[in-house]
Structure 1
Amino acid sequence: MSEDEILAEFRASQALLEGHFLLSSGRHSAHYLQCARVLMDPMRASRLATATAARIPRELRQQIQKVVSPAMGGVIIGHEMGRALGVEAMFVERPTGTFELRRGFALSKGDRVLLVEDVVTTGLSSREAIVAIEAAGGEVIAAASLVDRSGGSVDLGVPFFPLVALNFPTYAPDEVPADLAATPAIKPGSRAQA
């Protein structure tokens, strides 16, 4: 799948939003990619997962025994990646603020795991999920995401395979440009507060 074809999928689903957004990382942006919209069509989600799996070198793909993703944003793409790779998929969630496996999900000691996210910006959620996976006995051997918003700077401690890189500028709270600051920020992500 070419970058143009990938972006066409995002445009067709109206997944790219414009405005003033407070990202879950705490940074501000004039763009927000609502991956839930691009994944709401099961056939589109399957195409995107298959394309993402194809980015992972064959030798590494063949080692993957489980897919784990952080809830909520990574659940659908994680499930579809499990299907694309022919392995079980599960997710970690934060019932008390720290990621953990629940709902009867379990890893066997040494299970080789692919961590799958929808969007990676700073890598914070990914690194927190990796800690939880390792605490549960898994070994994260690679990570993948639909979108890398880090500008190529994220270091997850394992090989990282995004489907596409979208490098919209993000700003620390004290760096927000005046024109963007003039518009109230919306918290669209999974950590949005009421």
Structure 2
Amino acid sequence: MNEDAILAEFRAAEALLEGHFVLSSGKHSAYYLQCARVLMSAERAGRLALALAQKLPRDLKAEIDLVVSPAMGGLIIGHEMGRALGVDAIFLERPEGQFTLRRGFAIEPGQKVLLVEDVVTTGLSSREAMKAVRAEGGIVLAEAALVDRSAGEAELGVPFYPLVSLNFPVYEPDALPPELAATPGIKPGSRKNAV
């Protein structure tokens, strides 16, 4: 699946939004990818996960014991990546602000993990999720994501395999262009922002 086909999936699901958005990083953008919309079709989610799994090097795929994804955004694509790779998939939650395992999920010490996200902007959520995996004794081999919107700037500390890279401009709250400053920002993500 090439980049044009991937973006066609997002457009078909009306998942590429335009307006004034406050991202989970606290930065602002005129564009937002609502991955939940692109993943609401099980068939489409499966196609995207297979395409993402195909981006992973063969030797890496052979090492993965478990897929771990942060809720909410990574939950569906993490599950589908588990299916595509033939391994179990679990998720982390933030009931009190920090990622943790719940629902009887466990990571065995030494278990080799692929972290899977929907969108990476700054990498903060990914780094926090990796910290939680390591605290449980897991070894994070790499991260895969549907979308890298960090312009290649996200520092994850492990190899990173995005399905597509989109470099929409993002702005600090005190440096908004006039067209964004003129309208209130919407917080479409699942994480509370400090704005």
Instruction: Specify if TM > 0.5.
Output: yes
State the identity %: 70
Q: Distance in 2 between matches of 1:181 and 1:25?
A: 18
Alignment of 1:91-110 (within 5 A): 91-110=91-110
1:180 CA displacement: 1.0
Q: Distance in 2 between matches of 1:33 and 1:2?
A: 18
Q: Distance in 1 between matches of 2:172 and 2:53?
A: 32
> Hey, what does 2:178 align to over in structure 1?
178
> Hey, what does 2:112 align to over in structure 1?
112
Q: Distance in 1 between matches of 2:45 and 2:175?
A: 35
> Hey, what does 2:169 align to over in structure 1?
169
Unaligned runs of 5+ in 2: none
Q: TM-score, normalised by structure 2?
A: 0.98
Q: Distance in 1 between matches of 2:139 and 2:92?
A: 15
- Runs of 4+ residues over 6 Å off in structure 1: none
Q: Distance in 1 between matches of 2:53 and 2:170?
A: 27
Letter in 2 for 1:115: L
Alignment of 1:126-145 (within 5 A): 126-145=126-145
> Hey, what does 2:146 align to over in structure 1?
146
> Hey, what does 1:38 align to over in structure 2?
38
Letter in 2 for 1:111: Q
> Hey, what does 1:86 align to over in structure 2?
86
1:192 CA displacement: 4.7
Unaligned runs of 5+ in 1: none
1:178 CA displacement: 1.1
Q: Say what the alpha-carbon RMSD is for the aligned residues.
A: 0.8
Count of aligned pairs: 193
